[in-house]
A and B are shown apart, each in its own frame.
Chain A
Amino acid sequence: MKPRSIAVRRMTERVYVAGFLVGIGIALLALIVLLASILITAWPRLSPAILFNYSNARDPATAGYAAAIVGTLWVVGLTLLFSLPLGIAAGVYLEEYAGKGRVSRILQAAVTNLAGVPSVVFGLLGLAVFVRFFGLGPIVLAGALTLTMLVFPYVVITTQEAIRAVPSSIRDAALALGSTKWQAIRRQILPAASPGLLTAAILAAARAMGETAPLLVIGALFLQTFIPYGPESPFIALPVLIYAYTILPVDQWGGVAAAGIVVLLGLLFSINAVAIIVRNRLQRQRW
């Protein structure tokens, strides 16, 4: 290759760096425009009606998300109840018990690949298995079971990372003092990993709360005018109702949909804020 003068090479570098900066600028700008467009559209519709009224498809001024907010809390709560014990247990097994054999490799590969399955496929699975085969119908329980399968791999992977971050001296010290493997895990490793486990819970909650396609596919209601009363209640989730409003003419209903997004992001941010506070507490108590 013909050697180029240092001036040309420096110039090339500057052009490229400018290009990289433009790239980052576009990403940042996208986030700002995204939030701004939603906030501006939502602004005229932000009122107590959004929180306390039921959905309707006639009058944007009175339409709200009451049933959907409770529905989402039900589904996310049950999803966490199922997926956290299961996912943390699986994560502990894969980190602490599984060796390097074929079985462990298969289990690990299954977890990794589940994390990459499109969410709409989980919806079809839920539709075929829970709604149709077990005949549950589109109820809170069916939604929660579907989302449990979806968030499970994320809980497992985050748990594994949390356990890996615990210094192995902690484990060795516990074992050297005569504790059994499970005692070491339960009394030393899991408490030490608790901030990471909390991250797993938050991640699971955030994903379950934001997922639309699976619940849409299993057939959550669109217009529901009662508060979901339990696991066997028909339900609508917040993102699904937001989607339902986006089908209506955007000039009148865009504001209602955007206001729903504000509620959804508000819920997500408050969960994260609580998590950060709790995590700081937990971290202060560490060795």
Chain B
Amino acid sequence: MGRETARARKVLASLEPKWVWERGETLVRVVLFLAAAFAVLVTLAIFLALIFDAVAFFEVVNPIDFYTGTVWSPDIREVFGVLPLLAGTLIIAGGACLIGIPLGLSAAIYLREYAPARVREVVKPVLEVLAGIPTIVYGLFALLAVAPLLRVWFGASFFNGANAIIVIGILIIPLVSSLSEDALTAVPVDLRDGALALGATKLEATTRVLLPAALSGVGSSFILAFSRAVGETMIVLIVAGQNTDLTFNIFGQMTTLAGWAAKRTTGDVAVGETVYLALFAVGFTLFVVTLLLNLASDALRARFREAYE
């Protein structure tokens, strides 16, 4: 009996042209894996490309001076203190979040809890359109429509930080609203219905039950919006100006890490010059800041998923 079965198995195995497709399957698997590994390759390439020139830069300029210096004058005085760019980045990105996050969250709550189906059908696609518009379009809008208003209303200089704050704020509305809405949707309806059944108004159910329950998911969307604002380049480049003095006056010119890097590469730069290396030190700083923000956002979202999915 045992021998019979073994023979039958052997015959069956010989009938099947197994090796042909198994080899093909393995090959496919390897090729697909390599494609997925491209993500790691690019991440490493970014890290290495930036750090290679950043290290060369830090051999010329002391990193402590770089991160604590308050004067950024790479071309004229050759002084590299990155704080003015960092401050500009935080002011513009932070200001944009002050505008974009409340508006985005309002939109999410309204669409999720209050909007009649017909309003949803109109507003959601419009927000998607807003999200799909290239940033150069926002930049030109800032230059054509917002700059003249700010000049008339606040006596702002033609190029100013406030303009970038407003327009980047608008830019992140759809990001915040769609991600926050996803988070609100993921909270089990029982929680809200329970609150309503206990006599809470819809608003109370939303602000005291739904929002706290969705807090990590909503918070993750806020961090992502901030990260997006930190990395925004074209709007800053077009309307914020070129001034690299340390300033807190949003109605004057200011610039950010990304804005300075993009601006400087359009001028003359020779490889190996300190200014060329400074581009990568600034890029490295920007990369690390956004990476940390994105990781924080991911960690929060993972916690949220663990709770509800």
Contacts and interface: CB of A to CB of B under 8 A. Distances in A.
Contacts of A206: 132
Interface stretch (B69-77, B80-88, B140-148, B243-251): B140-148
B110 A24 contact: yes
A85 B38 CA distance: 12
Interface stretch (B59-67, B179-187, B189-197, B287-295): B287-295
Interface in B238-270: 238, 258, 261-262, 265-266
A208 to B, nearest CB: 10
B242 to A, nearest CB: 11
Contacts of B111: 24
Interface residues on B, range: 35 or more
Interface stretch (A166-174, A213-221, A273-281): A213-221
Interface stretch (A46-54, A59-67, A117-125): A117-125
A116 B298 CA distance: 11
B231 interface: yes
A184 to B, nearest CB: 11
B136 interface: yes
B31 A37 contact: no
A204 B141 CA distance: 24
Given A37-B145, A113-B294, A27 B109 contact: no
A86 B50 contact: no
Interface in B15-31: 21, 24-25, 28-29, 31
Interface stretch (A188-196, A224-232, A254-262): A254-262
B98 interface: no
A75 to B, nearest CB: 14
Given A27-B170, A212-B134, A41 B144 contact: yes
B141 A114 contact: no
A12 B123 contact: no
A112 B110 contact: no
Contacts of A110: 39-40, 42-43
Contacts of A121: 46, 50, 231, 283, 286-287, 290
B52 interface: yes
Interface string A240-278: 001100100010001001100100110010000000000
Interface residues on A, range: 35 or more
Interface stretch (B5-13, B201-209, B211-219): B201-209
Contacts of B164: none
A136 interface: no
A43 interface: no
Interface of B: 21, 24-25, 28-29, 31-33, 35-40, 42-43, 45-46, 49-50, 52-53, 102-103, 106-107, 109-111, 114, 123, 126-127, 129-130, 132-141, 143-145, 170, 173-174, 177, 201-204, 224, 227-228, 230-234, 237-238, 258, 261-262, 265-266, 271, 279-280, 283, 286-287, 290-291, 293-295, 297-298
Per CB-CB distance, the 7 closest pairs between chain A and chain B, nearest first, are A118-B231, A210-B134, A23-B106, A89-B35, A20-B110, A93-B32, A116-B294
